[in-house]
Amino acid sequence: MNVLIGLRDPRILIRTGLVFLILASLSRWLLHPNARFSGGLVDMLTGLLYGVSIGCLLLGIWRNRRRHAA
């Protein structure tokens, strides 16, 4: 139930997006392709983190504009 409250509050969405953006930026240094992680897996995880961050940021900005317009 707390997750649904977070999706309604644009500030929480924007902060979540920024956290995922930081994680995506750091994933290039933290996840090195080696025997455990192939290069494709590292690229996939990095892309997933960037995608989630962009989605959260856009949704948070959209909800923030709708809240102020009403």
Return per-residue pLDDT of the chain as tens, 70 residues.
Answer: 566 666 678 999 999 999 999 999 998 888 877 767 788 888 999 999 999 999 999 999 999 887 776 6
Instruction: Report, in angstroms and rounded to the nearest whole number, the Rg of the chain calculated over CA atoms.
Output: 15
**63 within 8 A of 20, measured Cβ to Cβ:** no
Domain tally, the chain: 1
Q: List the domain range (segments joined by +) for residue 59.
A: 2-69
Q: Is 50 exposed, middle or buried (0-12, 13-18, 19+ CB in 10 A)?
A: middle
**pTM for the whole structure:** 0.80
The pLDDT of residue 33 is: 72
Q: Supply the pLDDT for residue 35.
A: 66
pLDDT at 37: 73
pLDDT given at position 60: 94
